Every structure is written in C-alpha cells, then in structure tokens.
Structure 1
C-alpha cells in the first residue's frame, strides 16, 4: 500500500488513480499528524509520497516520518523549478515526481523506488555493499592489462556477461559482444590507446547463462604509466527497452495526433511558436502545416498579449485547464474557440499541447439565450429583467453624479379591446409597431423597455427640468396618435403615462416602479390619453385601498358582511312581491365601509367573485328560512358583478348554490348592468337563456345610465327593467327625467317587460309612476333596507 500525503484532495484522486491502474493500493493523509497515525495503524505501507507544494514544514515532516518508519519517500510537486531535491535528500529519499505526469512515469518511479529500497535493505543485512551495489544497479568495472593480455572483471561485470571467472584472456572477452559490434569496439579500443578518441561505446552481448541479449554502455580510460585500461560497464537493457517502447508509443501518438478529428496544436511554451499542427488543424485554419509551423499562436489569436495573459490567469485562478479565445482563420473569418491545454516535456523544451474546439455556434446560441433572458422576444426591446438592471444602474449613477432619473410607465389604453376585436395576432403586431415608433421618435439615450403585456417604460437620465419630462411624455402621446395600419385595418390607440422621479419619488427600483404605476392609474382615472406625475396623495389612496382589500378578505371569515333587504311593491295590488338584497359591512356593530367604497376595490382584485358566491348562497338560505316561517312566494333580487359573466362562471356558481338549498326555482332574480352584454352579445344571450331555463329571473339594473339601446334590449331574454334612481330623484323638477322615465315604461310594456323604479321617496314620484303604468317600485317611501328580522315583521304587518 502507498501512502499519499497531500492537502489537495483532487491531486490525491488523480495520482491515486494512476497507481491503482498498476495494481497499487493507496491511502490518503491530509496532514502530518494523520500521516503518523496511519503509519502506526497500517503495517502494509511500502512507500510514502509527500506533496511538497502545500506542506508548511517539509523538513520537519520528513524527519518525523524517518523516526517513525524506515520507508522510502518520493516527493511530489507541480513545479520542478521551485523544487530542490538536494534540500530534502537523505537515505530514504528516492527522487521526485511531477503532478499530472503520464501514468507510466509515476508508476515507473514508484516501482524503481520500491525495487531500489528493497535491494538496499537486503544489502544492509550483511551483503558486500560495493559488489552487490554493482549487481543491483547493473553496474560493473573491468581492468585490461596490456602487458599480460588479460582482463580482470568485478562481480557486477561477471553478472552482466554471465561468467564466473574473474580473470580472462582478451581473446575470450572479444567473443562476448555480438558480431556486428566487434569491429567497431576494436577500433574504439585502438583509438583510445593511440589517444585519438575517448572510449565511450554502446553494444550488445549475449549473456552466457540465460542467453538474453543485453545492451551495454562502456566507458574506459588508458593509463600509459601502468599500461592498463580501466573501464566500466553499465547494463542499459531496460533503458534501451524503455526508449524503444517510448519511441513506438511516440510514433503511435503522432499517428493519433495527425489523424485525430479534433484540432490539435503543439506550441513552444517559451516562444509561443506553433511547433506542430495536425491534419484537422490544417483544415480548420486554412493554412498548410508548413505555414502554421512558421507562425506564433499570437498570429492567429486576435486578443492582445495582455488579454491572453488575463484569460490564462483567470483560468488558473479558477483551476480550469481550458481557455477561451477568438482565432483568425486564413480566409479572414473569426471563430470563437475553447483551448484545452496541458504542458508536456518533449525533448529539452516544454511544450503546450492544445486541443481546439470551435464554439462559435455555441456562443451564438448563448447570445440568443441571453437575448431571450434579457430582451422581449416580440418587440426586441429590453424586458422587465433588463429594465430593472438599467434602472438600478441609472439610480447608482444618479447617486454618484448627483442627477435625477425619471421613469415613465406607459400603458396602452383599450388594448384589450384590440385583442378581443381583431385577435391576438393583430395585438402583437400593434405592440411591435408601438415599439418601433418609440424607438424612432425618442432620443438614443432614452432607455425604452417592454415590461410585459401592453406596458412599456422609458428611463430618462440627467434631465434638465420637469419641462423635459413633459416634452418627452407629450411626444410619446403625439407619436401614438396617428392610426396604425395593420392588415388593412386602421387601429387607433392612446396611452396613459405615469411618471416617477428619483430621488424624490423613490430611491430604489421597486419603489419607483410602484409609484410610476400609481401615477399611470392616476392618468387613466383622469380620462386616459395623458400623463400624470406621482404624488404622495396617490400613495395614501393606494395604501387605503390595500387596507380595505386586506380587511375585506378577512370579512367573510370574521362574519362581518351581512345582507339587508329592501321590499319591492306591486303598485296595482299594493302587495310586497319580493325584495332586493343589499350588502352591508359591519365592524364592532357599526357600518365600516359603504358598498360604493369597497365594491370597486373587490371588482379590481377579483375578490368580488367570492362575494358574489356568498351573497347568492346567503340569499337562497334566507328564502329557506322565510319559507319555514310562513313567508312564502318571496322573489329575491341579487346583484351579480359583470366579472362573473366575463369569466364564464355564472352558470357554475348558480348551479352549485342551488344544489345546496331547497327553494322554489323562481325565487331568485339576478340583476346585471347593461355593460355586461356589450362586449359579446351572442355569448351573453346564450348565458341568459341557460339561466332562464333554470328558472332564474333576469333584471337589467340602472337602466338608462349605460348603453341603453332598443337594438339589444329586444334580443335579450330578460324579465324586468329597473329605472335608475337618478331619473326618479329629479322627476318632479325635471321634465326631461320625467320624459325618460315615461319612455322607458312605454318601451318596456311594448316589449312585454315588467318595469320597476328604484329610489322612490315621495308620494308625487309614486303618483307619476303609477299614472304612467310602472309595475313595481322600491324606495324609502315604503321602507328602508331591513335586516332579516325587521323584514319579517314588516312583511307580516303589511300583509
């Protein structure tokens, strides 16, 4: 087992994997203390690898290990230039290895260290150190006595040759090298004696014992005084075998390099010159291999040397082995590339081996994705996310440079009507045209965004005065005045603009956006097609609305809403024929808010749907209760909001309510305003027919105040028309209001409809209505709205 001591977990995993491929087991220690602990617990550790790059006191660490074990040590580093082996050399040091070197280099270093250590330990057991060191290392020496023509050899030499005799005759020795080397060796020996050349030769022999062919390196010197030649032998069989194997592998690697589909370059680290390029690189860059190898990497990289350095430094800090560059091809085109690089040693100079991936398409896709993330896909304007970034930057600049920033919140008026009338396709085209007009008519330094739907925004930085905001707002309204011609249709559109200014109306994005939104609704409330500046009054009004909305949602749970009932009288029979439900909101026994205050808020938030359901169910249960108390035949009118019809929920709501109660089918009459029918008459008629088939009566409330038209009244399946109280109130003093009331009564009779007048407070009003044939009335002349208990008493008294 091999113990690897390093704080770098990633380095341990990489080096451990290499060793495991060669069959070695590994164990990890991330500190000095852990190393000593493992050495105490594990008795099968054979070698220690110490990481010198992240060790604080390596010498101290080494000494402790030597004291606690007698194991060989290999030092590991990723920077051979900073590491000095001499500083750490001792009897247990067996060299160093580079991190992320090739697998076989690490494996060979470990194997060699283990072998040498094992042999050294055996020698210490009592063997003749010098002789066995020769044998182990494959080293030997010889001495040729020219006078006696004899050769004396050491044990190491004899082992290399596979002979036992210490002294041999020269003629016998000459037979040991293979025949092809004998002439060259003889000449080298003669050149040494004559002083012409040094003796430094390589040759091969056949071992006399095992018959193996061995490669030998021999160096010798001539001593003329003694007339002897002293030489050394070194068995280099393994080195030669490794060189031949490496050469073959290098040839294989080169074939792979040249024929691989990936673009590959070999670059000189020191000069930046392209040393080699494979076939794929030649095809990709468009230059020949000869042309490429005369270029530097800087010749194809369009970044400056400083930019290249920054990119590589950033990659190093982030522990990446790849870099992103832009490369120029032979045809002048520019491609985005990712270079995966690693340093290798090839010959004497370090090389950078780079695999180049063309990521141009990926970058284009990333730009599209980024565009989708930050730009509106329909208008190509910055979207809400980008708008927030722009506004945030503008606020920061305003703080830093002491200038104001204006936010214009633009909402198109009646855009929903365009969608409903012409379809969403036309609506989308209209939004595109609006964006084009804004871009064309506003200054380049005005930032235009689409917030979503029919809402746009303009950011104006460093404006000189409020007059400039007035001018820009007025210009926006002006450019939208001209009709838009889309698919041969002329479409007119206007806008409401809300303005909020940094810093007086808010110092952050959310506050400015919220306040500009309030100002925009202020513009709509003032008739639309205009602009309006935010004021604190709007904020107070908004807060009040929020408070009402919050409390209103709790009111149903807390039982604060209740129904009151105002009797309806048949004039001819002087009989109570039903009642209208009126909603009241109580807190602590007192009226909290009038319906005119909270109903519009409920309609704007959609909570009115919940209120409608509650009112309808409560009214039906009240009928059940009255039936039990012998108050029979009561028809209750319930006001239902237009939203219930627009969202197509009214049939479902009525059906669900009627399932929960047992009342006569004709006990319920639904009151709706004229505006409900105007957007889609055909759909409205279908819904009303379904309600009529369920036994539900239909009455048009506040008739005469909206879209009163005989063309639609005659087609609607309704029972009653209710004359609005505004006409009844002025009937005595206004001939026009009297004429309107008379006309409505006459029209209703001709259409076979009942007429009811609300808000009747005087006998004079009753007389006029009665004389002109009005069927029913309700109002304070007969009774105010009553609680259920009061209504029971009133009904019984009237009867």
Structure 2
C-alpha cells in the first residue's frame, strides 16, 4: 500500500512540474474534464477545480470559436480510429488573451472496447507561434529586396546545398531561372567551385570567425566558363546556439581579376618568350630554398648564357635574335620538370632553378640534356643556326644561403665555363667532385667492411594493435667501422645497391636475422617473427629463392619466423617474374610482405595474384597525419584493400599517440615506429623481450 502511495505522490509531483496541462476528458459537447493537472492554471488562468466537470467553465468554451469545429472533427476521427492525435490551435485565457497551444493525446477504451474518454497533454506554444509570425512578416518585408538585389544572395546548409537564393545569383552563375540552378547544383563544393578546397577553406573561416569577408574564389558557370566571385557570409544560429545555415552575398569580380592578372603577368613575365622575368626570380628562388629545407633536398641554380649570340644578333638583325631566343626558351622549358623554373634575365641570359635534387647524377645528367637540346639546329626565317651555351651552377645550401649569393656564384661559374671552351657547364665549387670521391671511398670501404664483419643488426619492434603486445620485429642493418662512428644505411645502401655489394650484405642480414629469430623464440618459448628487407636488386637475382632456402636450412630456423619485405617498386620491371618468385618463396613456408605500399604504380592491378600476408603502409602516408587530412582517405583505402584480400595491414613510421589512435580506429592491424621504439641493438631488444 505504501508503495502505491509513493508512486501516486511521485506522479502528482511530476505532473505538477510539467509546463503544461495533463487531462482526461469525456467526448461530450463540452469536453467535460474528469481530471486536470495543476498546469491548468498557468495554461488557461483557471484552477483545475474550475474546469473539473465544467464547474466554472468548460474546455469547449475555452477553445477559440474559429477552431472549435475542425478541432473536434480531427479528434473525433482519431478517437474512432483508435489513433493518437496531435494538433495546434488557439484558446482564450481567463484574462482575455488568445493563446496558441499544442495538444497530443489518445483515446481510452473500457474492457468492452467501448470509447469512454480522452487523455493527453496540452502545452502553451504562443511564444513560438509569435516568433514564426514575426519571421513570416520579416520575410514579406525583405522578399522584395531579396528578389530585386543586384548581388547574389543565398542561404546554404553547412554541407553545401542551397536552401534559398535570389534571381541575381542564378544570373551570375549563368542559369536561366531559379529552378534551373536548383536542379543543377546539389553539391556546391564539387559542382560549383573550381578548386573544391576553397569551399573547405570558406567553411573553416566561418567555423573560426563566424563570418567571411571578401572571400575570393573561382567558380563554374552553367556553360563551363570560369568566373571569379567574392563572397561575404555569416553563420545563422538559433537561440540555443545551434547552427542553422550560412547566408551571404556573391559578386562577380571577373573583370577586375582578369585585369589584375594581366597587369601582374606583364610585370613578372618576359614579353618576348613568356618566361618569368628577373622581377620574380628572387622570390621564386626563395620558395625553392624553403621547399628544399623542408624536404632535405638541394636546389641547383644554373646561370645559362648563349655562346656568340651577340655576333648573330648584330649581324643578322634583332628579329633573328628574337626568333633564336624564343626557340631556346621553348627548348629549355621542355628540358625541366614542372617543379623547376626557367627565367629569362634579359638579352641571352637565362636562369634555371632545378629542385628536388639528391644525387650528383641528377645535376650532371640534366646539364648534359640541356647542352644537347640547345645545340640542336634552329630554323629562323628559313635560315639554320647552331648555337651553344655555357652554364654555371651553384647548389643550395652548400654554395650560399641566400638568393643573391647563389645567383652571383652561378654567374661566376658560368664565366669559368666560357673560359673552359664554351658549350659546357661548370660548378661553382668542388662539392660534386667531393661527393663522387666520397662515393668511391664508401664503395672501397664496404668491401673491407664485409670481410671484417663491421655490420650490426638492430631490431625495431612491431606492435599488435588488438592486444597492444609485441608481435615481431624488423631487422635493420647498421655499419660500425672500427674506431669510427655508426654509419646510417642511408649512406651506404644506395652505393651497395648500385655496385652489387647489396647481395653479400643481404645474405649476411638474412643469416643473422634467422639466428636472432631462433634466439628470440627460444627466450619466449614460442615462435617470434623477424622481418628482413629484400632490395630490388636482390629480388631480381635468379638465385634468391635458393639462397633463402639454404639460409633456412643452415640456421635451422622455423620458416614461419621469417618474414621477407619486398618493396613495391620491384613490380615495375617484370611483374610475371615477380609473382612467380613470390610463389616460390611462399612455398618455403615463410611470410611475405609488400613494403612501402602505396608509393608504387602497379601493385593494385596484381595484388589479387600476390601470395603475400602483409601490406606495410609507407610512412609517407602516416607521418604528419595530424596536418594532412588528405592522407586519411588513402590510409582507409589501403587498409580496406588489404583486409578485402585477407591481409594484415602494418603502418610504418608511427611517431605520435594521435597517429596510433587514428590508425587503431581505422582497423589497422599492426604498428611500427618511434612512438613505440626506435631500432635497438640486439642486447637492448633482448631486454624488452625478457620484460
């Protein structure tokens, strides 16, 4: 009995606190109330006792006269159909005010399924109704301005769909009517903006500042033409701060932008050849140097001067000279990559900015190609001319740390090239010769290092994301000369690959990695996998399979503890042979992985034929994941691709907790990188296993 009283007390308290009236009424002419909650007073101005059994007033009398008929019809129909009803109508408050209410309820039946009453809940929605009416009034007031404005006016969802726009916007975008634009554009980011990233920039500014001002972008018109627009926009939020939509204005500024671009182009480009001119050379070179700093590359500044051009220009006339310069400019432009630049300083002087250089051969081969291209016969006004050039080269950062110094040094080197007989190139310093000398020294020292066993194996742990535990390691070679510092493989592996010494190194790594796998497995009391990199040259060698088979036999290692990592670039040369070798290796019982996946060009088409067990995502897609959201789509695609073929997916180069968590969320299986551990000497790695 006490429990029932508590429940009744709780229900009474609950109903008293509701902002509205709970009721039960008969379906008679007066909506006679048989139960009314305390919320009646706030809603109607009458106490519950006033409405109960129509003592003072009936609810029918409170209902606004113009609404009584349709309200009764709607509720009667719902009740007879045994359906819940919901409606909005007006009532008259005791003070004479007209108020809007929202009512929801349902019919009540007795045990004989006879309709006996209604019960429900009525709320005051006058404030909301007034707000809606104010909005409608405001819309009527401003609709005329909206329709007749010269500027385009719009409202869009944050996702990029138009909610509303005026005729001016349709005209700016080249559409004949509002409906035409509405039917044509369903995704502003990809259907309207020439650069979809501009829409993302626009949204980011709105999220940060709540508005954008003078936001310029290029957009497509209906016929495919591209125009420039400027936008001013703001966020529109409700009373609770929730974002509703963006609204703003658009103006066509194509004429102004085209004029600005024309003026800028004339100021920064040579009128004869169309090449960039001296005006932007320093700025362009500064950009190249900044890029080189970020990516640990070199920049070559090549100062090029045509040999004996003045003689041709003076004797044959300036129109012949201009024709020659135009031809040479075209040839130079074809000799460089998109990331490089060709600048005409004036007269017969040109500067080439060559970026992304890493090896000595990069500069040498490009200079030889340029010398050859310039020396080809030129036909101008049906006359044949053969000209050569002299080139001086300075290299950033070794030959200077600023643009002026690099240009001065390249110019001096060009004069040295002319003094050397012309039609040649000259370096400002002996840096490249020193690099060649160093390469020869490494090649020589490598031979003795192999004989003297000056190499070590380091081991980098691999972590299983599902368990968070160590699940294997990658064996990485290091060179420890006697009485010298440790040498990174980045310094000697390329030389070993080019000279063929990589095969001897590979056999050494394979044998010692297998012996380490035995040691690790014995310590743990269970198999432990060790991965070994196989270089492209090793993989193409005809005896790779027999070599691996012999090492497994000699070391008595469990084949399942050996994993071979093959770089994706091996595919470029001979895919059928590549696949056959993979199958032969797989038959030995070992594990296979495709290393640096995602950086090659052929594996996607043949992956279904590869008997591999793992894909190792190249660290280029993992590093800086926080600041490069574009890599997320690539990572998801690689992980999904790998899993679709039943492969484990390993991410390399994981350096931060953010990267680890993000990859975990994507479903990546294993991780490897400095976030967990750098490569460790054997003794240090054994300590980890013992723990």
TM range (shorter): 0.3 to 0.5
TM-score, length basis structure 1: 0.34
Higher relative contact order (CA 8 A, sep 6+): 2
